[in-house]
Each structure stands twice: as C-alpha cells, then as structure tokens.
Amino acid sequence: MQTCKSCLKEIETSATKCSYCQSYQVWYKNPQHYSLIIMLPFLVFMFWNAGLFNKKEFSDFESEFSFNLEKIIDANKPNTILITYKVKNNTRYKWRDISYEIISKHDGELLATNSVSDFSWVIQPNSESFLTVKVPIVSNANEWELKIKDLEVKRY
C-alpha cells in the first residue's frame, strides 16, 4: 500500500491515480502534462539550433578568415602609425569580440594588441570588414603581421 500524495489516504501500491480524490501519483501519468512531454524534443531542438549547445570556436574556423594589408598612415600621435587590414570572413557566422596581436615580421616582437575601440568591431557572415590598429614605430619593424587570437560568434 502507498499513501495518496494529495489526500493521504491509503491506496494500492500500483495505483497511478487515487481512487478517492482522483489525483495522479506521478506527474508524467497526468494527461495535463502530456503536452509538456511532447514539446520537450522540440525545445531541445530549438536550443540546439540556436547554437546554445554547440559553441563555435574560432580555432575551428581560422582557415576561413583571410586578411590583406590595405594602408599604413601616420597617426596623430608621434611615433605611431595606423595600419588598416581588410579582414575577410568566409564563414556563415557573424563574429565579434576580436582579440589580436600585431607582430613584427623582423623579429617576432609583439607590437600591439587589442584596444578599447575594437569593442564594436563586428564582421558579418561571408563579408569583409576593415580593422585599423595603432602600432608604435619600432626600429627594424617595417613589416607587420596581424594574428587573430580569438573571435566570438555573435548570436543576436
């Protein structure tokens, strides 16, 4: 024997429904909850489809990005130049939160990393976007390499 969860009267151990108050003893036996059970796979699919379960890693898409040095100009600040790269995104995702490094090709010296103004930088799927970086003038550094360290997929 078991006790009804609703009215606390003694009922058959195998009973899924109380014979006194008609209340269901297990939530999933209650027809009112059937729709929830039916909906569950759809909810899982929708979350999965929205990419919430499969986070995109930039390292898996690195080869689908390319960049060209577009122009180098003097910055208003002394001993600083502005280098503009054209970044091409060949993926079908929109990316943001760039994290990069500018390396001197001469000796591999790290010359610049992200700046605060890069926060709004976003690149649309299958398109190009310009990225301008402020680089200090260092002797022997006359060739620069842009290295993207990380990007995040923008969902909204």
- Of 20 and 130, which CB lies nearer to Zn ion in the complex structure? 20
What 28-31 contacts at long range (C-beta under 8 Å, 24+ apart), as own/partner pairs, is none
- Of 21 and 43, which CB lies nearer to Zn ion in the complex structure? 21
Q: How far is the CB of 22 from Zn ion (least distance, A)?
A: 7
Q: How far is the CB of 37 from Zn ion (least distance, A)?
A: 23
- Of 18 and 111, which CB lies nearer to Zn ion in the complex structure? 18
CB atoms within 10 A of CB 50: 11
Helix or strand or coil: residue 7?
coil
CB 91 within 8 A of CB 125: yes
- Of 21 and 44, which CB lies nearer to Zn ion in the complex structure? 21
Q: How far is the CB of 36 from Zn ion (least distance, A)?
A: 23
For 7-88, where are the alpha helices, taking DSSP H only? 34-49
Helix or strand or coil: residue 90?
coil
Contacts with Zn ion, residue ranges (CB under 5 A): 4, 6-7, 18, 20-21
